[in-house]
Homo-oligomer: A and B are copies of this chain.
Amino acid sequence: MEQVQIVEVGARDGLQNEAEVIATPDKAQLIDRLLRAGVRRIEVASFVNPARVPQMADGEAVIAGLPDRPDVSYIGLCLNKRGVLRAIASREGGARGVDEAGCVVVASDSFGQRNQGQTVAQGIAENVAMLRLAREAGLVPQVTISAAFGCPFEGSVPPERVIDIARAMADAGAVEIALADTIGVAVPAQVEELFGRLAEAAPGVAMRAHFHNTRGTGIANAWAAYRSGVRVLDASLGGLGGCPFAPRATGNISTEDLVFMLDRSGVASGVDLDALIAINGWFAEVLGRPLPSMVAKAGGWSGRAATP
């Protein structure tokens, strides 16, 4: 059976656009429930400036409460060297901490400057240093190229630029490169093309895909990525998400919808759909509103039992 690894990003990318700050114990419970549903790789915090993203200000507290499971890989998002240093610090004194430094380099100057105060060139230089720092400290050095399919300010992003960035990241020791459609404008044909090029440009590096469903194409893009050889897909519970610095960006692809598609396609993810739907119901109560996931609304469908 084919397999896909899901990286659950609901507790980080999913929450960071929420106006109201979610309490640390609720975040801890969200992570714990997701692990019990079968998630084995999960974004738990973003080491950003708490003044800019108050939702992520309790990152260290969330990490301190994580279950010490050897079968789970925790990801801390790092936008600069300072972020990597916080990721490293999370492991000091024998603490569990995070396992991976999820570095981020942006594929457009305008978005990069707004999101993390860096041009593309500055972002590449910073990430080269961040990946080295992470590796030396024993963290898994991986990187996401954001706005890889389009920029909210500049429009189209040349594929050549994305591939050049990817080459630089591979040379700097990234063990995995994600291409992220931060603003939800990617379409399957573009996904196939860009991952095809990435596979050629960085053959030894694992590929990951990160899609938002802003214009309804997120699940289609996930399948196109799968068909292009990608075996690691980001998704967020219920389709939570957005980006505080990308206008109109809406939710990530929903983990429920992705798992439904994979299950029915004979692709194993190890994540249990019914458990996800139950978590969705609980977390919708925490937030006080329904989440965008379609499957959670419609119900899973085994294809065996009668529905009504």
Contact = CB atoms under 8 A, between A and B. Distances in A.
Count of this chain's copies in the oligomeric assembly: 2
Nearest to A301: B185
Given A185-B264, A265-B188, A307-B247, A294 B215 contact: yes
B302 A155 contact: yes
A224 interface: yes
B265 A298 contact: no
A155 B305 CA distance: 6
A299 interface: yes
Range class of the A interface residue count = 35 or more
A306 B247 CA distance: 11
A261 interface: yes
A219 interface: yes
Contact of A187 (B152, B183, B184, B264): B264
Contacts of A303: 150, 155-156, 185
Interface in A211-243: 213-217, 219-220, 222-224
8 contacts: A153-B307, A155-B303, A155-B304, A188-B265, A190-B265, A213-B294, A217-B219, A247-B308
